[in-house]
Structures are given as structure tokens and as C-alpha cells.
Structure 1
Amino acid sequence: MCAQNDISPAENGRRFTLSVDVEDYFQVWAFSDVVSRNSWDGFALRVGDNTRRCLDLFDAHDAKATFFTLGWVAERDPDLIKAIVSRGHELASHGYDHTKVTAQTRGEFHADVMKTKKLLEDIGGADVKGYRAAGFSIGRDTPWAHEALAEAGYLYSSSTHPIAHDHYGDASAPQSPYETAGLIEAPVATANLFGRRVSAAGGGWFRAAPYGFSKMLLEKASKTLQGPAIFYFHPWEIDPDQPRLNRAGLKSKVRHYLNLSTMERKLSRLLSDFSWGRIDEALQPGAAS
């Protein structure tokens, strides 16, 4: 196990950083048992229009973000990738086709992150420094993952959600960014409440909770974490009109479709209440090199 050292946010760095996992509604891990990857091209893409709505929303609030983007999406909508970069946001990797790290060998993972980095850089014309694993799937079962990312030229990862959860997470993992295996791991935001870690990071947690409670958790996280409070969501979360996948299990459907109709309004409030920046600028990975 590599040594881990907590790091502080970059000087004058943002306390709140915004991230978007660019994937379409049928590509989420919770639906992977009913939607196979070889069927993806049979679905009409909605991720492009939804992500462009996010870009417009961010412009309206003078917010910058990091877009962790699937290579599969980039191949099919290169103009979206160019728009992300031209509007001042960070382009980062979410892997090629949303395969969890735990479902890959070290060699397969290294090939995947190399391929996606080159693809995004060729289309976007910008360096890709960051990576986020599908399903926050870097952890104890993938001790080689950070080293493989560093070998592929990444400077940071935001691939851990250090809470107890049935699909991901490790409640004993570091909550603040730390250096390991030649790069920075920057977990998404968590807060300690009544002796228990809870998510302050967004996604379904943000859709489910009252806005005031989510805001309080983010404020708490920003005051206690030794680094930026990283928030995330997906473009499909502001798309209440997306087709329903009725074959999915009840728990997956409840989690996925919960409060989609109110997400954009809550997100707009959040963008107004805090000042938001990119992850790379908050961490400044590689600045000393």
C-alpha cells in the first residue's frame, strides 16, 4: 500500500468544486443488468442536449466545472467535447464505456484509461489531467489503479466516495484529498454528522434530501475537509422526460427517477449560493513539476 499524505487545496483555490459525469440515462451502472453495452447504439442519445443545458446553466451563474466524460459519448458527439473546453471548463476522463475498475484487470484498465485520455485530448484539444471511475470503484480491491493512472499520464483521480453504501464506498477511507502512487486522489464531499459519515456530494443524495439539508452538509464539508468540497451530478438528472426503463429493478428505478422534476431548480439554487470552480484549478496537480 502506497503512503498517503493529506494535501491542502491550492492557494486561493475554490472551496467548492463542481463536477459532471457525462453519461446517458441508459448507461448508468444501476441499469447494467437490463441494458447491455452492445445495445447502446440502439438508444437515441439525450446526453448531448442535457449537457448543453448544464453548460448554459453554468454560464448563467458564472460557474466552472469539471466534466468527467465517457469516451463512448465523445466519439458520438465531438462537438459537445469542444463546447465543454471552449466555454472554460475542465475536460476529464470517465473511462471509455463505464466499466467499473473492479471488473477489469490491471492491463485492461490501463488500456482503457490510455485510450480514453488520447481520444478526449484529440477531440477537445486540451490536456486531460483527471479521471473518475465508474461507480467510484477505486478502492481496496484495486490497489494497482492509482499507479496505472499515473503511468497513463493522469495527475489526479476523483474516484472514491468514502461512505458506507451498498454499491460503492469505504467508510474508513480518507475524506480529504491525498497523494498516492504519484498522483492525487480527491474524494467527493462527505461530512460527519452525529458520529457518522454522510454524503455531501450530490447525485441521488441531493435529489432525495431537502435543499436546506444538502446546503448545510456542503457548508460543513467545506469547513472540515483539507481540500475542496467536490459536488457531482449527471446530465440525465435534469431530464425528467427521459424514457423509462421499466425492466429495471424497483430499487434501481426509485433511485434513478426520484425527484428528476425538481433537480434543475435545486441545482440552480446551489449554483447561486456558492462559488464553483474546476477540480484541476482547486488542486493544481503537477503545479510544482
Structure 2
Amino acid sequence: MLPAPFPEISTDYAITIDVEDYFHVAAFETVISPDRWDQYPCHIEANVQRIIQSLDAAVGKAGKATKATFFVLGWVAERYPSLIREIAALGHEIASHGYHHQRLNHLSQHEFRQDITRSKALLEDLTGAPVAGYRAPSFSIDENRPWIQDELREAGYRYSSSINPVPHDLYGYRHAPRTPFLWDNGLLEIPVATAEVFNRRIPCAGGGYFRLYPYALSKRLLQKAARQLAGPVVFYVHPWEIAPEQPRIQAASAKSRFRHYLNLHRTLPRLERLLGDFHWGKMSDLPVVIHHSK
């Protein structure tokens, strides 16, 4: 049973980057296995650099460059260590996206433990700083694996941002609170943003929905989420989403191809508008994280 939302949290906006490439995504997991990832051209460095440039250029409501939280896949960090060090040196937060981009319902408890400890140790060795945050691949935490939170806590994570509290065929924990809460073991969970419209939860945190909706609608939903949520508005984007030139995976289903390639050419311009329209920061600077860590 889920606990009540964390009380008395002031609203803020957090921008998060899930550092994975196009061939890592769950939509292609049935046609591209992890043992074949090295066969595909990796565009992660160039795409992350484009995002960093956009963050540096965005003064937004804060009047200064925007800092973000980068949830880094361990597989990427192992192959591009200088990129991860650069992100950290620029003042962004480094958090964990696990080592392999495998949905948690595909992992045993032992495999999950290995995945999150390997990723955390690798990122901490690269940056020389503790890694506090974790995001599950494809928001794949659900009610069927209560040991997940215990393993995260035992591994030394202070917070998780692994819940998208909406129904979806690949992810979703529809009955979870929309606002931050503590699991029974004290681990802080910070769901990504949703807006409630006519008693229905509407996803507005990023990803495919950000590419599908007109920008004006995304902005209105985020503003509504800020008014409704007793806690931070968390948004996410993937580096591959700003790269319309990426290779096409023709073996994937038509549904997966539609979802993945929809409006890729619109993502970066929309993201740059978004960065200027709100006061964004990193997860570690949110009042709820600061309060909980004391």
C-alpha cells in the first residue's frame, strides 16, 4: 500500500535528461538485444552536447544558465567517461538510470541489485561525488516488486524518480500519488509531472507526449500541474529525441516506430522554448530533496 504524499512541499520545476541512445529504448527491446548494442552507431555524445548548449543558453525565469539532472545509463558512462565528467564539471547533477536499460519486470532481485550498484559505483568513480538519485528504465517500477525500494535504499540512493502515475502499456503506476512521497523504508519518491483534467490524469512530463502535443498545450498542462501539485514539476527528455537524423529501426513494429520517430525534428526547438518559459533546476536543489536529506 502506498503512503500519503509528502507534506508541505513548495512547487518548483526540475528538468531531467535520461542519458540513453535510440537503440536502448524499450520500444526496440524485442528486436535489439543488449549484446548487439555495440553494433549500432552511438550518437549520444553529440546529442548530449546539443542539450548542454541549450541549457547554457537558457536563462529563463531564473536569469542564469539552467542546471539539470542527468540520469545516466551505466553502459553509456563506461564508454563515454569524459562526457560524464564534463556534465558534472558544468554543475549539473549526475544520477543513475541503471546500467542496462532493462525494464524492472525483466530482472530478478539479484539482477536488479547488481545493476543499480554497478551503475552507482561507476558514476561515483567518474565524478568523485555521491550519486543520490535513481530513475528506473521506462518508469518500470510497479506494485509487484516491493523489494525494489529496499534494494535502492540499501545501495545508498536517497531518492527515486521512477514513477509516471498514468496508465500506459509499457509503464505506469496509475494509483501512485502524483506528488512526492516516502516509501515504507523511508526512500523518497518524486513522480514525474501529471495534470488533472476532468478527474483524469494527463501525462505532461515529456517524452512522446511532448512530441505529440502542440507546444502551447504542453505549456498549459505544466502550468496546471504546478497549480495542482503540492510538490515539484518534473520534466524529462532523451538525447535521441532531438536527433531526427538517427538510424531507422525497420524491424520494430509500426506502433513502436510511430511512437519513437514522431516529431523528432520539433523536440529541440520546443525544448529551448520550454527552458525559457519556466524556472528550471536540478533534482538535488528541489526543496523536497533538501528537506528530506536533513
Q: TM above 0.5, one fold?
A: yes
Distance 1:138 1:8, change over 3 A: farther
Aligned to 1:19: 16
Q: Does 1:108 align with 2:111?
A: yes
Q: What one-letter code is carried by the residue in structure 2 that aligns with 1:248?
A: A
Q: Please, which of 48, 63, 71 is the counterpart of residue 68 of structure 1?
A: 71
Q: Please, which of 171, 192, 195 is the counterpart of residue 191 of structure 1?
A: 195
Q: Does 1:257 align with 2:254?
A: no
Q: What one-letter code is carried by the residue in structure 2 that aligns with 1:260?
A: L
Contact 2:4 2:177 in 1 (8 A): no
Aligned to 1:239: 243
Q: What one-letter code is carried by the residue in structure 1 that aligns with 2:80?
A: D
User: Residues of 2 paired with 1:182 and 1:113: CA distance?
Assistant: 18
Contact 2:103 2:137 in 1 (8 A): yes
- Give 1:99 deviation, angstroms: 1.1
Aligned to 2:155: 152
Q: Does 1:204 align with 2:208?
A: yes
- Give 1:84 deviation, angstroms: 0.9
Q: Please, which of 21, 42, 54 is the counterpart of residue 51 of structure 2?
A: 54
User: Residues of 2 paired with 1:196 and 1:257: CA distance?
Assistant: 27
User: How many percent of aligned residue pairs carry the same amino acid?
Assistant: 48
- Give 1:182 deviation, angstroms: 2.0
- Give 1:8 deviation, angstroms: 3.9
Contact 2:113 2:151 in 1 (8 A): yes
Aligned to 1:42: 39
User: Residues of 2 paired with 1:5 and 1:41: CA distance?
Assistant: 42
Say what the alpha-carbon RMSD is for the aligned residues. Answer: 1.4
User: Residues of 2 paired with 1:276 and 1:229: CA distance?
Assistant: 9
Q: What one-letter code is carried by the residue in structure 1 that aligns with 2:51?
A: C
Distance 1:8 1:203, change over 3 A: farther
Aligned to 2:61: none
Deviation string, structure 1 residues 54-103 (Cα, Å, up to 9, x no partner): 11110001211110010000000001100110111110000001111111
Instruction: Give SS of 1:95's match.
Output: coil
- Give 1:36 deviation, angstroms: 0.9
Instruction: Give SS of 2:41's match.
Output: coil
Instruction: Give SS of 2:71's match.
Output: strand
Q: Does 1:168 align with 2:204?
A: no
Q: Which runs of 5+ in 1 are unaligned?
A: none
User: Residues of 2 paired with 1:247 and 1:67: CA distance?
Assistant: 30
Q: Does 1:117 align with 2:120?
A: yes
Q: What one-letter code is carried by the residue in structure 1 that aligns with 2:38?
A: D
Aligned to 2:217: 213
Distance 1:126 1:228, change over 3 A: same
Aligned to 1:28: 25
- Give 1:171 deviation, angstroms: 2.1
